[in-house]
Structure 1
Amino acid sequence: MPAITIKEIKAAFQLGLKAYEQDISASQLKNKLVDDYAMNPSSAHGYIEIVQHMLNGRQYTRTINAQATEFYLQHIYERYGIDKLKNAVEAVRKHLDYYLTTKTSKQQAVRKICEQYTLICEQDFEFSDLDKSVQLASLDCSEARLLRLKSAPQKALLIDAQTKRFRRNPDVVAERFFLAQGICEACNKPAPFKRKDGRPYLEVHHKKMLSAGGLDCLENTEALCPNCHRERHFG
């Protein structure tokens, strides 16, 4: 199959935007790429669908080339701003973690592009970002999160040396909440109240603090009610 060029990438992106904004499935739009650009139907479907996944912050399992990845991230940022870019970067991160568990290639070119746009996101870091990412990760099944976590880096990225702020992996938090099933893992009592979206309110605690070199992984975390969490820190 001929290499997918910027012409096909631009056309696929526009169709992806249409699919996202008008809630149309990629399968309904892919024939435009097949007929006008002789794209393989499977590739056409993937290049359109991935735009939707990026905008929604969801994992995608198909692959697109590095040029398409950069084009999509750049134009999502220009069209929708930083919040949708954060979603898109999260989707790429999930894809890369997933891909490492199934393929031999590490997609180094795509990984470098993801790192560049991650830096843009870090410059606009907010404490609410983790909770948003956890909600997105919670939409995936446990098997998908565990698969990504097999290859995800466990060393949390320090993004503010002065106040010791770390970028935490939302898959770790979402999976820990899933395992806890609304029950504090210290006192074994139900979460004291629910979040606005109905989820039981627990907090994820790192047994060995990230600032002390602890890893951001399931084995180093526990889901606690607020009282037990404070007890872990101050008791």
Structure 2
Amino acid sequence: MKIPNSCVPDAYLVATHVYHGQTSLTDGAQLLVNRHGLNVNSARDYINNFRYLMEGRGFTRTLNAFSMEYFLEQISTNYPAATLRNAVRALREHILYYQSVQRTPVTLKTMWSIYARFAARLPPRFQNELEQEDVESIAVQTLSRADIIHALRSLRPTDSQLVTLQLRQYKRDNHTVALLKILRNHACQICQTTIRKQNGQFYIEAAHITPKRLQGCEMPDNLLILCPNHHKEFDFGDTVILSRDPHELVVSLNGITHTISLRLE
């Protein structure tokens, strides 16, 4: 059954009511069935997919391009940037799922276009976060640990600012950070904490030893992989670098000394 675009605004509105607890999933779906003649499964898809978009979770039941664009436009208008980041992330996971089961390339090309357009609306830090997640996803599937080490050791400050992976371009800096996160097992180099996200992936941050404002670059020997707490402490605490070479950093954070390996191994 082809679903008319005219029902999409109402489907979005009902989905928001269900998400915010103003009505139940069953009642919301039945409302769409009664108003627009949708079958109950299609009605539920609109409602459930809105939840997945809001929470940044991949989903397998598809929406057409018009519906996806409308939902993202409304989320962009009515919710904070972090929520749009979640929605863009969920769309990416949805596209990658359909790529894995080899669905229609034309439809996926349209969805990638929607993804790129809304990702471009995000603040730079969220854009970088999504790019790094993209690179991690590709690298985990296509590169061995030895490949990652070789790629990081081969980096030069004069390298091109863009990297092409699977026909898409990424910033060189985001590519470097993503590979380093994988190599460090997504664990804080000070406390070894790992943070698992709702989608099963890991969250970790990268800190510059020499800050970017002082011309610090995204080379492996200038990056630490840290949990949010130690990242903030490193950037804003009483930080004293006691010694540093290409292989090791010894740093005092608020009076506590930490020895951190910078080796690529």
Shift of 1:12: 1.0
Shift of 1:14: 0.6
User: Does structure 1 conserve the Cα–Cα contact (< 8 Å) formed by 2:32 and 2:43?
Assistant: yes
Q: Which has the higher helix share?
A: 1
Matches within 5 A, 1:131-150: none
Structure 1 residues 110 and 53, CA gap change in structure 2 (3 angstroms): same
Matches within 5 A, 1:1-235: 1=1, 3-22=2-21, 26-106=25-105, 107-121=108-122, 124-126=123-125, 130=129, 157-158=170-171, 165-166=173-174, 192=191, 194=193, 230-232=261-263
Shift of 1:195: 7.2
Which amino acid letter does the alignment assign opposite residue 56 of structure 1? E
TM-score under structure 2 length normalisation: 0.55
Structure 1 residues 105 and 150, CA gap change in structure 2 (3 angstroms): farther
Aligned length: 189
Supply the RMSD in Å over aligned alpha carbons: 4.6
User: Does structure 2 conserve the Cα–Cα contact (< 8 Å) formed by 1:203 and 1:229?
Assistant: no
Match of 2:174, SS? strand
Structure 1 residues 150 and 169, CA gap change in structure 2 (3 angstroms): farther
Which amino acid letter does the alignment assign opposite residue 68 of structure 1? S
TM-score under structure 1 length normalisation: 0.61
User: Does structure 2 conserve the Cα–Cα contact (< 8 Å) formed by 1:156 and 1:167?
Assistant: no
User: Does structure 2 conserve the Cα–Cα contact (< 8 Å) formed by 1:194 and 1:201?
Assistant: no
Percent identity over paired residues: 22
Q: Which has the higher contact order (CA 8 A, sep 6+)?
A: 1
User: Does structure 2 conserve the Cα–Cα contact (< 8 Å) formed by 1:101 and 1:150?
Assistant: no
User: 1: distance between equivalents of 2:29 and 2:119?
Assistant: 30
Which amino acid letter does the alignment assign opposite residue 231 of structure 1? L
Q: Which has the higher strand share?
A: 2
Match of 2:47, SS? helix
Match of 1:232, SS? coil
User: 1: distance between equivalents of 2:203 and 2:11?
Assistant: 41
Shift of 1:57: 0.8
User: 2: distance between equivalents of 1:181 and 1:166?
Assistant: 15
- Name the larger-Rg structure: 2
User: 2: distance between equivalents of 1:71 and 1:32?
Assistant: 20
User: 1: distance between equivalents of 2:109 and 2:80?
Assistant: 26
User: Does structure 2 conserve the Cα–Cα contact (< 8 Å) formed by 1:53 and 1:59?
Assistant: yes
User: 2: distance between equivalents of 1:116 and 1:127?
Assistant: 14
Shift of 1:5: 2.3
